[in-house]
Amino acid sequence: MMKKFNNLWAACLFIAMAIMVASTAYAQGSRYQPGVHYFEIDQAKAPDADGKIVVTEAFSYMCSHCNTFEPYISNWKSKMPENVVFKRIPVVFGRGTWELYARGYVTAEMMGIAEEAHGELMDDLWKEKKIYRNMDQLAGFYSNFGVTADEFEATSQSFAVDASLRRGQTLTQTYGVSGTPSMIVNGKYLVKAGPAVGNYDTLLDVVDTLVAREIAAAAASAPAPAEDAAAEESP
């Protein structure tokens, strides 16, 4: 009987905590308004990430604002909750140079070196003023990260990279991305700089608030812990 009581108490505590987290997230969220500080994405669909919250940065290596944003996002990543996954989508906007670097990023991602090389490529471009004008030169850069230039260039022309690049551009259209950097929270909300979001600290605070909302919603909708079947049979 005592075991059954303990299980019921645990279930009630779980529900109470979920409600408390949801209430806190709602109170925080009231500071930021849809259509002002963030935008709700039509036909929103949370990415499939094993129940985790996905935060995505839409960026380009050719965007000076993305370079300025990089230290902010690096600091944010170091503090993000364990149940949050960070991803990047390199956007193109129909520009040939942007497509070159986007293809390079997708290739590096498939080869497992994108995150390692990301900051250094930003520094090369914006601090060292180096320009990589074709895939051969870009492959030379990525060869510093454990792959050969030939392997990188061959992979960059693969069907898998083509498909991933197209998928990324389709997603940016679905999310309504019109400038960089932009942040997408769980496929549902678009956050970008604007009159009401005047700096990157505020932008990331909006992201954090929406992440908290998604975490609270997930906790509130999670089933309560099942009672031990054996407890039901106990006198």
Span 92-142, pLDDT tens digits: 999 999 999 999 999 999 999 999 999 999 999 999 999 999 999 999 999
B/e letters for 91-128, b = 16+ CB within 10 Å, e = fewer, are bbbeeeebbbbbbbbbbbbbbebbeebbeebbebbbee
In Å, what is the CA distance from 75 to each residue of 37, 71, 79? 21, 6, 7
Phi and psi (nearest 5°) for 30?
A: -65, -15
Residue 13 banded pLDDT, cuts 50, 70, 90: very low
* Three-state DSSP state, 88: strand
What CATH number corresponds to the domain at position 59? 3.40.30.10
Phi and psi (nearest 5°) for 224?
A: -65, 155
Domain that holds residue 168: 2-233
Span 21-65, pLDDT tens digits: 444 444 444 789 999 999 999 988 888 778 899 999 999 999 999
β-bridge partners, 57: 88, 183
Number of domains into which the chain is organized: 1
